[in-house]
Structure 1
Amino acid sequence: MTPKPQPIVPWMGGKRRLAKHLLPLFPEHSCYVELFAGGAALFFMRPQPAKCEVLNDLNGQLVNLYRVVQHHFDEFVRQFEWTLTSREVFTRLQSIPPDVMTDIQRAARFFYLQHTAFGGKTVDQHFGTATTARGFTAANIEGRLKAAQQRLNGVYIENEPWEKCFKRYDREHTFFYADPPYWQLAGYDRSFDWAQYELLAEAMAHSRGKIMLSINDHPDIRELFKDFCIKRLELAYSVGRDKTQKTSGELVICNY
């Protein structure tokens, strides 16, 4: 049995755990666009691909990884022969400027750092450890990523501001999934000011296609997007050694 494709890298704010709630809400469409792709959990986990698919993100290292896995898979896999899960390797790779590496080396560096950094963060990374699970293993990377590589076949990979990507692909048959940085939460590699959320609301109001927005539940967000369909999802989580289950509110906002 061919394994199902899974997201390639851990990602802060990734939607892997919410996929079972979000995917059934997708409307009918033939063009699927993720404006803030990140780890692209919904793209990889959706049961059937769309006729046309687009992954867009401003993070050039992430976009380079997708393109390398898409077009140079075998050489990418070879980068991990004899690779160890090591704080020393992590620190050494962090210290190497990506612009002195080839695209394949940069992709492997980014992949390793994302898998060994705490919390899937792309900024302020530090080596992550645990006492309840194995660390990153290079064994059988080819087998683990082959389904993802096949899933990326024929997908457009864009590296531009979300609004430019939106204008490029906005059609009646297009469905946009937008997962921008959360309002007033730290830890993202780029600022996303209030004007950007206002621009998103304007795009949703005037889009030719359909748009789903995932965002944290905040009074400012509820007020800005009050004219759209809003659904709240509850996500249970625990922090560190505290096993007490807590909940976090996630809003799903649609213009359809």
Structure 2
Amino acid sequence: MAVPVASIPTPTTAATVVASNPVARPFLKWAGGKGRLLSQYEPFFPTSCHTYYEPFVGGGAVFFHLANRVQRAVLGDINPELVNVYRWVRDAPRALMAKLEHHKRHHSPDYYYHIRQQHHLPLPLDRAARLIYLNKTCYNGLYRENSQGQFNVPVGRYKNPGICDPDLLWAASSVLQRAQIVETPFTEILQQPLTPQDFVYLDPPYHPISATSHFTGYSRYGFGPADQECLAQVFRQLAERGVRVMLSNSDCEFIRSLYEGFSMHSIQASRMINTNAQRRGKISELLITSY
């Protein structure tokens, strides 16, 4: 069910504390994050928009980059634990940081695996702190779930992981005050009251271009060819309504065929997820726009 944009919360007292570093940026490490590609994306971003929509929010790099250009935002994801984290960063960063400081004091490989096995914590605050702690201390900053929805990444080798960064969290909380955060499938965006003054960015799990590039483990649900085809239909329907839409995905024949007729731009990205470091390197991706 779509949530009306009018229900976007007003800033809370706790979240309006001014950070010493006011530049908001992602507070999670995220596979496929767009932080390093923003300079290539910049020519295609609108200079302003009324409401920004991002149904696959992930690490939120594009949202944080555009936050000062938008009046409000609707950020969504199908992963309930990720949505929970964003809501706690927005609404109660002080309480969240207290939990993270506890994790920071106790961090060790044994403590990591103790926390990792706590798959069904009853309190949302504890679950939010757990996700950030595991994200900051797991191998390669990789978020991956098994078929039961359980986080299953081994501990990373970090001398001093940044488990709790108050400035980072306060800055993120500040810009998230203008955001509605929803747990919903991407298809629900068609139910939103979009106008040509709005902007939609779609960053789905990429279509694999080889056997070793197949990674859809952000949630238990996966994202296959049928999902890609459904997403392309959503893209076309939004474009037909005059909404400005941008999508990133693999540069391959399948994706190009789905978005035939739209503007396609080649982006040079670094392939970071591979157990063999020699197979990491530059790869061409697609940035597709309806305008």
Separation in 2, partners of 1:225, 1:206: 12
Q: Which moved more, 1:20-29 or 1:175-184?
A: 20-29
1:95-244 matches, within 5 Å, as 95-98=117-120, 100-119=121-140, 120-123=142-145, 124-129=152-157, 134-138=159-163, 141-184=165-208, 185-188=214-217, 189=219, 190-207=221-238, 208=241, 209-236=243-270, 242=277
Secondary structure of the 2:28 match is coil
The verdict on how the C-alpha distance between 1:241 and 1:181 changes in structure 2, with shifts beyond 3 A counting, is closer
CA offset digits 1:1-60 (Å, max 9, x no partner): 643111011111111111121133113421110110011111112362401211100111
Give the root-mean-square deviation of aligned CA atoms: 2.2
Specify the code of the residue in structure 2 equivalent to 1:107: A
- Do the aligned residues in 1 keep the contact of 2:264 with 2:288 (CA within 8 Å)? yes
Q: 1:43 aligns with which of 36, 49, 63?
A: 63
- Do the aligned residues in 2 keep the contact of 1:118 with 1:128 (CA within 8 Å)? yes
The verdict on how the C-alpha distance between 1:63 and 1:198 changes in structure 2, with shifts beyond 3 A counting, is same
CA offset digits 1:45-85 (Å, max 9, x no partner): 23624012111001110100111111111111111234244
The TM-score, its normalising length taken from structure 1, stands at: 0.89
The TM-score, its normalising length taken from structure 2, stands at: 0.79
The verdict on how the C-alpha distance between 1:234 and 1:57 changes in structure 2, with shifts beyond 3 A counting, is same
1:73-92 matches, within 5 Å, as 73-82=93-102, 83=104, 84-92=106-114
CA offset digits 1:77-129 (Å, max 9, x no partner): 1112342442112101111123x331111100011011111232232311111
Structure 1 runs of 4+ aligned residues shifted over 4 Å read 237-245
Separation in 2, partners of 1:111, 1:138: 7
Specify the code of the residue in structure 2 equivalent to 1:26: F
Separation in 2, partners of 1:97, 1:44: 29
Q: 2:40 aligns with which of 10, 15, 21?
A: 21
- Do the aligned residues in 2 keep the contact of 1:64 with 1:103 (CA within 8 Å)? yes
Specify the code of the residue in structure 1 equivalent to 2:156: G
Separation in 2, partners of 1:242, 1:198: 32
CA offset digits 1:217-236 (Å, max 9, x no partner): 11111112121100111124
- Do the aligned residues in 2 keep the contact of 1:32 with 1:176 (CA within 8 Å)? yes
Separation in 2, partners of 1:67, 1:201: 29
- Do the aligned residues in 2 keep the contact of 1:9 with 1:115 (CA within 8 Å)? yes
The answer as to 2:284 corresponding to 1:249 is yes
Aligned pair count?
251
- Do the aligned residues in 2 keep the contact of 1:116 with 1:135 (CA within 8 Å)? no
- Do the aligned residues in 2 keep the contact of 1:114 with 1:122 (CA within 8 Å)? no
- Do the aligned residues in 2 keep the contact of 1:35 with 1:166 (CA within 8 Å)? no
Specify the code of the residue in structure 1 equivalent to 2:245: I
- Do the aligned residues in 1 keep the contact of 2:49 with 2:197 (CA within 8 Å)? yes
Structure 1 partner of 2:76? 56
Separation in 2, partners of 1:97, 1:15: 28
Q: Which moved more, 1:115-124 or 1:237-246?
A: 237-246
